[in-house]
Amino acid sequence: MSPTDAPAPQQLRLLAVHAHPDDESSKGAATMASYVAAGVEVMVATCTGGERGDVLNPAAAQDPAAGRDLAGLRRREMAAAVQALGVSHRWLGFMDSGLPEGDPLPDLPAGCFAVQPLERAAAPLVRLIREFRPQVILSYDENGGYPHPDHIMAHRVTVEAFGAAGDAARYPGTGEPWNVAKLYYDRAFNPDRFRALHFALEEAGLQSPYAERLAQWLEGDAEGHKPAAPTHATTTQIECGDFFAHREQALLAHRTQVDPEGFFFAVSADFQRRVWPWEDYSLIHSRVQTTLPETDFFAGIRDGSAAASA
């Protein structure tokens, strides 16, 4: 067989499912940019418009648009972040649930994302999976990364869609079935990463912004019990330090949500690259054979062994 007769390598596709605009920039952004640069098609699906979010950057609070049309402003911010990362993007069309506060907690708003019946909430994602046909999906763990109702619902919807998209009997009318090969949970707030950065900063004689966070993780309760270990261990580290600048650009695009003087920028990208040049993930389900630990989401897929349509 001549080189011109050889079968073309399959197109690799990654789908990241997030709750709100800005979540894609704080969780896995450098990974996505690195895969885009390597020729992988990467899509972000955003479940809600972030309509009930707060303005978290004091400088942005002075923008009249933040008070007049926060939803519209966040859509423009999302467009800028998408451009910074080089990914494609879809809105799934649900309404932000907001983060309830108070004791007792108030009911969530009627019609918001987190109160939708699961099959109704998952249907747009099943449709997108069957259209985009990703081999890999990335989202949150059972706690949502942190316990915001939309993050937890994004987790539930992702697991439901991963299981259902390849079954022709489920979600009729949403396209031809497609089996996703692998499902990962993001570990953006992996304690091991913060420990490594903290001790490297101290060794360099620099002040660590992570001391308080590490103390909270390490302190026990009144009886001396330490916090439980993470539910899902890191199985996969994607080396993407060369794309930390893309992550910073995407974060800065979300001006209403990200303070350029805040937590995400407390340690320079160059320092982070030297100490921890990876982003961390847990492989949860795989329909292909792979060996752990991994350094590539598409391990077991690049050789063409991944499942396709059911």
Radius of gyration of the chain (CA): 20
Residue 137 is predicted with a pLDDT of: 98
Using pLDDT thresholds of 50, 70 and 90, give the confidence band for residue 227: low
Using pLDDT thresholds of 50, 70 and 90, give the confidence band for residue 108: very high
Residue 222 is predicted with a pLDDT of: 47
Which residues are bridge partners to 294 per DSSP? 236
Q: Which amino acid is at 128?
A: L
CA atoms within 13 Å, Cβ hemisphere of 290? 24
Statement: residue 190 has pLDDT above 60? yes
Using pLDDT thresholds of 50, 70 and 90, give the confidence band for residue 193: very high
Of the listed ranges 20-24, 174-178, 280-284, 300-304, the one predicted with least confidence: 300-304
Mean pLDDT to the nearest integer, 186-198 = 94
**Tokens for 307?**
């499942």
Residue 216 is predicted with a pLDDT of: 75
Domains along the chain? 11-189+278-286 (3.40.50.10320), 191-229 (no CATH)
Q: List own/partner pairs for 282-285 with CB under 8 A and 24 or more apart.
A: 282/141, 282/184, 282/185, 282/187, 282/232, 282/233, 282/234, 282/235, 282/236, 283/182, 283/183, 283/184, 283/235, 283/236, 284/183, 284/184, 284/185, 284/232, 285/162, 285/182, 285/183
**Tokens for 228?**
């439980």
Q: What angle do CA 131, 135, 136 make, to 5 degrees?
A: 110
Residue 213 is predicted with a pLDDT of: 80
Using pLDDT thresholds of 50, 70 and 90, give the confidence band for residue 4: very low
Residue 145 is predicted with a pLDDT of: 85
Q: Note if the bond before 64 is cis, omega within 30 degrees.
A: no
66: Cα separation from own chain's centroid: 24
Residue 304 is predicted with a pLDDT of: 64
Residue 229 is predicted with a pLDDT of: 59
Mean pLDDT to the nearest integer, 82-93 = 98
